[in-house]
Amino acid sequence: MANDIFILAEHLNGKLADITFEMTGKAKELAAAFGGQAVAVLLGSGAKSLAESIGADTVLYVDDSTLAEFNPEAYSRVLAAMIKERGPRVVMMGNTSVGMDLGAGLSVMAGLPLIAYVNGLAADGGMFVATSQIYGGKIQAEAVPDGEACIVSCLAGAFPADAGRGSAPVEQIASPVPLDDLKVKFVKLIQPEGGDVDITQQPILVSIGRGIGGQENIELAQELAEALGAAVSASRPITDAGWLPKTRQVGKSGLTVKPKVYLAFGISGAPEHLEGMRGAELIIAVNTDPKAPIFDVAHYGATCDMLDLLPALTEKVKGG
């Protein structure tokens, strides 16, 4: 078996996702420790220039018209064939909307273990050790695969991206398997509707989570935002409930924001939320649970009831 580390390159709209570089940097370190190569695998169509901008040891670029856009079935088939043919030691993919469709299925197809939600990876002697962040960020689990080889799905932001930028020799190949009988057909990409407010451009965000309790309380956040000249953003449950538009959602499937001040009220701090806001300059969190993971990324925190705090804060702001 080869000691190569495969990295699935992720791209959308003609742009590589940061997770590609994050994993590539880490893969180079692991490959060096195991005596193999960091091999980025890019599936696409007419995307050679993207393949050329990954700083792996080598890039395998599979060009096929069915791979122009992400298609879970096509990707799974191609990757399963490549894993079988080339027997990498580790296959890395993002624990992203793309990787979440692939890793677990490939694990069954290829008969390899999968370690998910990975935010730490190391070579320890001849062994491969992966740390997963589970239970909504409350627990870390350090695990080793039972066999030699393994698939891991990595959390976005877990590793620095810079070490994975650069370029590498690109080997272009045709799909190793036929892709003409797919049951999944990509139809189109749907861009988000333009929101009333662009939360990525606000210096202050009043961000609310499930702790707000009910739709009738949204107003309290809006009043505060108005007084501050800020905008209201939210965690996913709030936009899922339709209490605020999707364009106000911060996180993995929402937007990444970097305001000067991020006020997180009634947000637990699930990894998917942190992904979108940990880059804020100043984070102040209010949550009744002193153990909420949001306090691990916040600079300042308080455990009072947000429903008492919001009106008090609005008053103070208005009072000057």
Partner 1 sequence: MNIVVPIKQIPNLTDELEINGDGTGLDHDALQYVLNEFDEHAIEEAVLAKESAGGAVTVVGVDTTGELDGALHTALAKGADKAAKITGDFPRGTDSHTQARLLAEAIKDMSPDIVLTGVQAADDRDGQIGPMIAAHLGMPYVGVVTGVTVSGGKAVVHKEYAGGVMAEFEVSLPMVVGVQAAHQPPRYAPVSKIRQIAKTAKIDEIAGGEVAGAGSTVRRMFKPEAAGHAEMWDGSPEEVAEKIVAMIKEKGLLK
Ligand X SMILES: Cc1cc2nc3c(=O)[nH]c(=O)nc-3n(C[C@H](O)[C@H](O)[C@H](O)COP(=O)(O)OP(=O)(O)OC[C@H]3O[C@@H](n4cnc5c(N)ncnc54)[C@H](O)[C@@H]3O)c2cc1C
Least distance (Å) between residue 93 CB and ligand X = 14
Q: Quick check: 15 binds partner 1 (CB under 8 A)? A: no
197: left (phi over 0), alpha (psi -120 to 50) or beta: beta
The position carrying tokens 């990444």 is: 256
Which one, 130 or 285, has the nearer CB to ligand X? 285
Structure tokens at 49: 């220039």
Q: Considering only residues 291 through 320, tell me which ones interact with ligand X, judged by CB under 6 A.
A: 292, 305-307
Q: Quick check: 23 binds partner 1 (CB under 8 A)? A: no
Q: Quick check: 135 binds partner 1 (CB under 8 A)? A: yes
Which one, 100 or 197, has the nearer CB to partner 1? 100
State the Cα–Cα distance between residues 313 and 221, nearest whole angstrom: 10
Indicate the burial class of 236 (C-beta count within 10 angstroms; 0-12, 13-18, 19 or more): buried
Q: Quick check: 250 binds partner 1 (CB under 8 A)? A: no
CB 232, CB 226: distance < 8 Å: no
Q: Quick check: 68 binds partner 1 (CB under 8 A)? A: no
**Size, binding site for ligand X by CB under 6 A:** 27
| C-alpha closest to that of 120 among 163, 162, 158 | 158
Q: Which listed range, 30-38, 76-84, 194-202, 262-270, lies at the site for ligand X (CB under 6 A)?
A: 262-270
CB 93, CB 8: distance < 8 Å: yes
Q: Considering only residues 97 through 116, tell me which ones interact with partner 1, judged by CB under 8 A.
A: 97-98, 100-109, 112-116
Q: 101 contacts which partner out of partner 1, ligand X, none, CB within 5 to 8 A by kind?
A: partner 1
Q: Quick check: 235 binds ligand X (CB under 6 A)? A: yes
State the Cα–Cα distance between residues 39 and 58, nearest whole angstrom: 5
Structure tokens at 76: 């799974």
Q: Quick check: 270 binds ligand X (CB under 6 A)? A: yes
Range 72-76, long-range pairs (CB < 8 A, 24+ positions) = 72/101, 72/102, 72/105, 72/184, 73/182, 73/183, 73/184, 74/43, 74/179, 74/182, 74/184, 75/8, 75/43, 75/101, 75/102, 76/101, 76/102, 76/105, 76/106, 76/109
Least distance (Å) between residue 164 CB and ligand X = 23
Instruction: Give me the 201-220 binding string for partner 1, x by CB under 8 A, dash otherwise.
Output: --xx----------------
Q: Which listed range, 44-52, 57-65, 125-133, 160-168, lies at the site for partner 1 (CB under 8 A)?
A: 125-133
From 29, 52, 69, 148, residue interacting with partner 1 (rule: CB under 8 A): 69
From 49, 125, 180, 190, residue interacting with partner 1 (rule: CB under 8 A): 190
From 218, 268, 285, 313, residue interacting with ligand X (rule: CB under 6 A): 268
| C-alpha closest to that of 224 among 315, 306, 305 | 315
Listed in sequence order, the residues at least 6 apart from 126 whose beta carbon sits closer than 8 Å to its beta carbon are: 34
Least distance (Å) between residue 155 CB and partner 1 = 12
**Size, binding site for partner 1 by CB under 8 A:** 104
Other beta carbons less than 10 A from residue 149's beta carbon: 19
From 48, 86, 165, 210, residue interacting with ligand X (rule: CB under 6 A): 210
Instruction: Give me the 88-107 binding string for ligand X, x by CB under 6 A, dash otherwise.
Output: --------------------
Where on the chain is the footprint of ligand X (CB under 6 A)?
209-211, 235-237, 249-254, 266-268, 270, 272-273, 276, 286-289, 292, 305-307
